Structure 1
């Protein structure tokens, strides 16, 4: 689905009264499938200004062949600027103003090689953080991969967390997501995450490769011109 192929809402959709509207679009690019979900969301304070926001996510995981990355993209849009702002017209306007690119397969696939069996001690996952929220120390008995998460706000590093992940339900992965406040595109948060198993792979330098190998932009001039 693109900005030119956004379908109308299904006839059985119920329009509800709510403070904020929300829609999620998820693309399974490998299978050429798109999933849409529409909901209402809790509102902000009644005297708060309108604050439409969009979060764009690129996520790829290593396939079992240890060469190819699965490919998915997601857009979450939350708005209160107009009635039915999360409908067909609002989505067309939003998608035509977004640009998403990545070269994760070409640039990062070697970093995501699956190591089986995984030896947490040999992997020597880095542990450091400058966060005020939880960044748990590695638990070598349960560790399945090294991880690093870095967030930037207006291109300045806000936080970094490098540790060891205990979730065994997924394979090695790379993810980038960026949130824009549409009325002020400079007010954004930009996050890069890497889950890997090579020795000492969860460095900030490798997280920065996620930024270099992808691009997520929002054209506010085009959005407000439409």
Structure 2
């Protein structure tokens, strides 16, 4: 899937957590971005998430397959326009299985059925959190488009140190499962203006794939 002239090697960040630089080549990046722009349209399109304590997430988000809201899943956009969630595309599940196979060196047969699309502008951040609302222990697969971000990957025991900061560039994938599946992680900042000029994207789009 990679289109890099000099591919960067995969790197294990923690047991079960693997960074796959440049996994998506330029054609796959354009395909995924075009799909995200279609998914973002209403109904059940891009929204700003309000947390139970009243704060708002600085990223905008949409869901596929199952609608995520703090802290659960539904079949409709219960905290948006109430419309049925858009279907999860099988090809995205295949991309996720390919990423897990590349990360762990063994075939993956997970039936991925959920995707969350997060859209970052230059000021958006993501606080340290765990992806713990799923029933399935299957790995989470993250694809990055647009601006490079600093991805902070910690440990399951808490939000504090130690953690590792990884730069995720356009086309990179990140897989975390096994002992890293419930590790705290976040995005403290992006690097505006680092998106490939030919992609036609200002900001960052992150697509995370998981099994409900």
TM-score over 0.5 for the pair: no
Structure ranking higher on relative contact order (CA contacts 8 Å, 6+ apart):
2
Q: Higher Cα Rg: structure 1 or 2?
A: 1
- In the superposition, the TM-score normalised over structure 1's length comes to 0.25
- In the superposition, the TM-score normalised over structure 2's length comes to 0.26
